[in-house]
Amino acid sequence: MVKFENYEFVDGGVCAAEGFTAGGVIAGIKTGNTTKRDLAMIYCAERCKTAALFTSNKVKGAPIIVSKEHLKDGYAQAVIVNSGNANTCNPDGIEIAEEMCELTAQALDIDADDVLVGSTGVIGQKLDIKPIRIMIPTLAKSLSTKNCGDAVEAIMTTDTRKKEIAVEFDLDGRKCHVGGISKGSGMINPNMATMLAFITTDVAIARELLEKALRKVNYLTYNMVSVDGDTSTNDTLILMSSGLAKNSEIICEDKNYEIFENALYAVMMNLARETARDGEGATKLIECIVTGAPSEKAARAAAKSVISSNLVKAALFAADANWGRILCALGYADADFDIEKVSVELASSKGKLTVCAEGAGIAFSEETAAEILSEDEVKILVDLRDGEYSAIAWGCDLTFDYVKINAEYRT
């Protein structure tokens, strides 16, 4: 995808786009936890053309089943999301997800079919609707263009960083926006979608093109992220368009469509990247850039195999230039290429170092390598020298804290 430089980053997250407000409150959904916001709402003054992607896991959270049903007409006006409980694998999960939509619709005076719902947290424990029932009216009253930060906080689980971003750009002389928030830290190996991500825009665009852009950009961003190889049951990615920027509606894949798609890429790529950086227990972001691949499929498989390897991840935690593990991970990727042509470079803000050429090791300074790898953003540059395709994937290191977090998460 060509990057256009015709957008700039702005504040506001999902509220940067015209028409949208958001909020987040403390409902106390996870028993005993009343210190963190856990219930979020996003609302638009207009019904929005909406596209969405959901998990490919056969186990689907109840909120996903309900949201899919509500999205059948392609429109939505609000999103209600809780953290602290995934509302998944519960006998009455669907009723509870439906009630969350109905309560939201009442509070906002809109149609319940125009409300989408998301839940994240522990799987297989009953979600208590009572605290949600009590807090939804308060939450609806708190909605504001200033409160995106509260909404982000409310959707976080083991996340340590708020993932929020927005861009502004011009279409037909109108100021347009794409903004988004995202959560996700563990159980991250999206496949057709991500953990939870809510993207808004005020760009007027045909619904088919909205969906097309979402699919394409998701393919290049969230689907190229892995924290632990576990594809969640609740992955949800929603893109709502208010059309309030009042540009002439995008109805074909013209220059304006391209500008919109690139703005969407800027938002989703940054959110996806931050999801990898904030991987459970992670101390560093790993970006693997594969070039010279014989096909797009090979490039993607190779990049994703490297950032998914537990052994590569553990070596990078120790800032150890163990490139043999990188080659090993390339070797078992589901991709055809000639391993004897491969070169590997390690890079960060501290410099760049070739560690492997033509599939074999070359002499390098271990000290320089350790210095490069000690940074909190590290790049693995793989040139397959076997074609013209490329791909980027994002992951993080595997640390003691990943184990600690996941050995203790439920209890």
Query: CB of residue 86 vs its own copies: minimum separation in angstroms?
Result: 7
Please, are residues 172 and 202 in contact by the beta-carbon 8 Å criterion?
A: no
Task: Say how far apart CA 2 and CA 295 lie, in whole Å.
Answer: 18
Query: CB of residue 356 vs its own copies: minimum separation in angstroms?
Result: 7
Please, are residues 211 and 51 in contact by the beta-carbon 8 Å criterion?
A: yes
Q: What's the Cα-to-Cα distance from 23 to each of 50, 78, 95, 150, 291, rounded to whole Å?
A: 20, 11, 24, 6, 42
Task: Say how far apart CA 51 and CA 33 lie, in whole Å.
Answer: 33
Query: Which tokens hold the place of 59?
Result: 């186990």
Q: Does the annotation mark 194 as catalytic?
A: yes
Please, are residues 118 and 97 in contact by the beta-carbon 8 Å criterion?
A: no
Nearest-CA neighbor of 93 among 64, 114, 70, 53? Answer: 64
Interface with its own copies (CB under 8 A): 56-60, 86, 88-91, 122-125, 186-187, 189, 191, 228-233, 308-311, 314-315, 317-318, 320, 322-325, 327-332, 337, 339, 356, 359-361, 398-400, 402-404, 406-411
Identified catalytic residue from 158, 194, 291, 399: 194
Query: CB of residue 307 vs its own copies: minimum separation in angstroms?
Result: 13
Residue 57 or 242: which CB sits closer to its own copies?
Answer: 57
Question: Alpha helices, DSSP H only, in 143-206?
Answer: 148-155
Nearest-CA neighbor of 322 among 288, 300, 349, 346? Answer: 346
Residue 135 or 373: which CB sits closer to its own copies?
Answer: 373
Task: Say how far apart CA 381 and CA 97 lie, in whole Å.
Answer: 44
Query: CB of residue 79 vs its own copies: minimum separation in angstroms?
Result: 23
Residue 57 or 348: which CB sits closer to its own copies?
Answer: 57
Residue 7 or 54: which CB sits closer to its own copies?
Answer: 54
Residue 128 or 320: which CB sits closer to its own copies?
Answer: 320
Query: CB of residue 344 vs its own copies: minimum separation in angstroms?
Result: 10
Query: CB of residue 190 vs its own copies: minimum separation in angstroms?
Result: 11
Exposed/middle/buried for residue 364 (C-beta within 10 Å: 0-12, 13-18, 19+): middle
Residue 124 or 137: which CB sits closer to its own copies?
Answer: 124
Task: Say how far apart CA 262 and CA 4 lie, in whole Å.
Answer: 7
Active-site residues: which are they? 194
